[in-house]
């Protein structure tokens, strides 16, 4: 994560509890289906108030955020379509981006 000093990072996990725990360690928002304040979390992330967000697949299709440089998966995505959709959150600004799978 230190490699990306300017752009945003999205870390995806499958389990809500795991997402919450990692977000707490990273001092960032935990975005999942039952999260309170999702619009504020997303607005903070988009505005750059939070550079990292940890999320489940609830942050996926239909969300286009500029300057996301890296997507990190900490679990196997449920399907290849999920992986493609989630990894596709990076690179919308046309700059180089990466998707990393850590399992």
Q: What are phi and psi of 18, to 5 degrees?
A: -65, -40
| Residue 1 counted as domain residue | no
Q: What is the pTM of this model?
A: 0.91
pLDDT in tens, 45-102: 999 999 999 999 999 777 788 889 999 999 998 899 889 888 888 888 888 889 999 9
Total count of domains within the chain: 1
Strand ranges in the chain using DSSP code E only, listed in sequence order? 8-12, 29-31, 52-55, 68-73, 98-101
| Residue 72 counted as domain residue | yes
| Residue 2 counted as domain residue | no
Domain with 20, as residue range(s), is 10-101
pLDDT in tens, 3-55: 666 789 999 999 999 999 999 999 999 999 999 999 999 999 999 999 999 99
CA distances from 8 to 17, 34, 45 (A): 22, 23, 8
Longest dimension (CA), the chain: 33
| Residue 3 counted as domain residue | no
| Residue 40 counted as domain residue | yes
| Residue 84 counted as domain residue | yes
């Amino acid at each position: 994560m230190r490699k990306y000093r300017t752009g945003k990072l999205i870390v995806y996990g499958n389990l809500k509890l795991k997402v919450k725990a990692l977000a707490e360690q990273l001092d960032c928002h935990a975005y999942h289906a039952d999260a309170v304040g999702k619009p504020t979390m997303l607005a903070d992330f988009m505005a750059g108030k939070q550079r990292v967000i940890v999320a489940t697949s609830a942050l996926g299709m239909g969300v286009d955020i500029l300057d996301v440089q890296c997507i990190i998966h900490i679990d196997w995505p449920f399907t290849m379509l999920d992986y493609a959709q989630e990894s596709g959150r990076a690179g919308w600004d046309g700059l180089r981006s990466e998707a990393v799978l850590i399992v």
